[in-house]
């Protein structure tokens, strides 16, 4: 392939792009790949998770503040970014997909699938990505917006390539590969945990490894490990740009960068759809396309 490679990463809220696959994005930008983040909602109903910013004026202007945070993170990562325009669903206590806990009527999760997928189909046909990444069938975790993001990406990945669907959005374009972000497999968490203990440091993962149910560990599903340790600092700077969402003294930053780079220097993905031949395991989201 001689044309510029293009990567689209579909995320639920501003800040998700900086905590899931951000170092890989930064690596690909550095290589000359055109990278676009599609953000489904504005994060309007998100919490203020940084105690230093938990103030009434921040809550009042949360939509505008989160948009500015996204702008700064986008600049740090070197990516393009587009808003799909949906309204954050929030996460009521105890909500699960089969629960009877109501969500706001105007929210992203309650949009009909074809309505919710439409702007993503349009964006795919405009940007023409070769590779798309998103969340797995559980949304990474069961937040209504993450689950909906998975659903619309699966719909749009196929629909964008079908000339008989969404005809109003122009010429069909079929992306070649679709991946799920895979961040928290047991092997990775164990490697980081043991590396911390070896340095005599406290691990934030001890209770997690002991008490979490690992019978459905998704680590073995990983097909593709993208080495991007050199870009972990860029990832962390982008994450800190989302100041309302990230406590700079919280657990996200408890593992020293140098230790992370040695213990687990990759970001990991699962290839779930491909229209090109490739060989497993992969080390590149564009394997089979270069």
* Nearest Cα to Cα of residue 136 among 181, 176, 98: 181
Give the sign of the dihedral formed by CA 236, CA 185, CA 15, CA 203.
negative
- Output the six-digit token pair for 26: 């930064």
Q: How far apart are CA 239 and CA 252, in angstroms?
A: 9
- Helices marked H in 181-290: 186-198, 206-211, 232-241, 257-263
DSSP structural state of residue 52: G
Tell me whether residue 13 is annotated as binding.
yes
- Pairing, β 177-182 against β 266-274: antiparallel
CB 235 within 8 A of CB 22: yes
Collect all residues with Cβ–Cβ distance below 8 Å to 160 and sequence separation of at least 6: 120, 121, 124, 125, 166, 172, 173, 174, 175
Whole-angstrom CA distances from 282 to 90, 225, 254 are 36, 6, 29
Q: How far apart are CA 265 and CA 261, in angstroms?
A: 5
CB 71 within 8 A of CB 39: no
Tell me whether residue 242 is annotated as binding.
no
Tell me whether residue 146 is annotated as binding.
yes
Largest CA distance in the chain: 60
DSSP structural state of residue 15: T
Which residues sit in the known binding site? 13, 16, 146
Which residues sit in the known binding site for Zn(2+)? 13, 16, 146
């Amino acid at each position: 392939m001689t044309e510029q490679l293009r990567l689209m990463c579909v995320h639920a809220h501003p800040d998700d792009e900086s905590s899931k696959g951000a170092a890989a994005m930064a690596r690909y930008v550095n290589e000359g790949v055109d990278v676009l983040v599609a953000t489904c909602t504005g994060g309007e109903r998100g919490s203020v998770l940084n105690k230093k910013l938990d103030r009434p004026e921040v809550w009042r202007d949360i939509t505008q503040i989160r948009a500015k945070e996204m702008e700064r993170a986008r600049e740090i990562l070197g990516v393009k970014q587009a808003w799909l325009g949906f309204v954050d669903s929030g996460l009521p206590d105890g909500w699960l997909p089969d629960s009877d806990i109501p969500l706001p009527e105007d929210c992203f999760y309650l949009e009909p699938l074809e309505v919710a997928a439409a702007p993503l189909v349009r964006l795919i046909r405009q940007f023409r990505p070769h590779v798309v990444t998103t969340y797995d069938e559980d949304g990474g975790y069961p937040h209504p917006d993450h689950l909906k993001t998975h659903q619309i990406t699966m719909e749009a990945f196929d629909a964008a390539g079908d000339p008989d669907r969404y005809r109003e959005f122009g010429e069909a374009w079929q992306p070649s590969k679709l991946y799920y972000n895979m961040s928290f497999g047991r092997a990775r968490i164990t490697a980081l945990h043991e590396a911390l203990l070896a340095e005599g440091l406290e691990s934030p993962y001890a209770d997690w490894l002991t008490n979490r149910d690992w019978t459905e560990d998704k680590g073995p599903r990983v097909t593709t490990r993208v080495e991007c340790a050199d870009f972990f600092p860029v990832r962390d700077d982008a994450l800190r740009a989302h100041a309302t969402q990230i406590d700079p003294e919280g657990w996200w930053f408890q593992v020293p960068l140098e230790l992370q780079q040695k213990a687990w220097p990759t970001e990991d993905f699962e290839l779930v759809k491909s229209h090109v031949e490739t060989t497993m395991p992969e080390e590149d989201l564009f394997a089979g396309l270069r």
